[in-house]
Amino acid sequence: MNTLSQEQENHADMRNPDLMPPVLVLTELNPANIIEGVMRDDGFQTEDEIQTCGAMRETCPYCEDQHLLLVLRQRSVKVAHLFCPQCTRCYHASYQDGSPALALI
């Protein structure tokens, strides 16, 4: 019985656009402004390895079908942001009204 009602809910989610999660607006960030590290010829280097928190629904505007990874504030990271593991670009995520989507994380 539980399984059946969950399936019905999922089905409703797909059919009702109001229940879809909001689309995030991505703004490219300069990693030097949000991550402590140095830019080298082979990419941006940090003292600590940066921990990511899993893939987001959003994909990189430059890399087809590459889902962005959520990066929270940590020792070398000053601002929570989204990271593309393919092109190593960093993005600020905001809602369509301009409010930051990652501000509370």
Mapped onto helix, strand or coil, the DSSP state of residue 98 is coil
Q: How far is the CB of 78 from Zn ion (least distance, A)?
A: 21
Report the residue from 24, 26, 60, 93 that binds Zn ion according to the rule CB under 5 A: 60
Over the window 69 to 98, marking each residue x when it contacts Zn ion by CB under 5 A and - when it does not, the resulting string is: ---------------x-xx-----------
Are 92 and 83 within 8 A, CB to CB? no
Q: What are phi and psi of 20, to 5 degrees?
A: -70, 145
Provide the minimum distance between the beta carbon of 62 and Zn ion in the complex, in angstroms, as a whole number.
Answer: 4
Angle (CA) 24 98 15, round 5°: 40
Q: How far apart are CA 28 and CA 1, in angstroms?
A: 46
- Minimum distance, C-beta of residue 84 to Zn ion, in the bound complex (Å): 3
Binding residues for Zn ion, rule: CB under 5 A, are: 60, 62-63, 84, 86-87
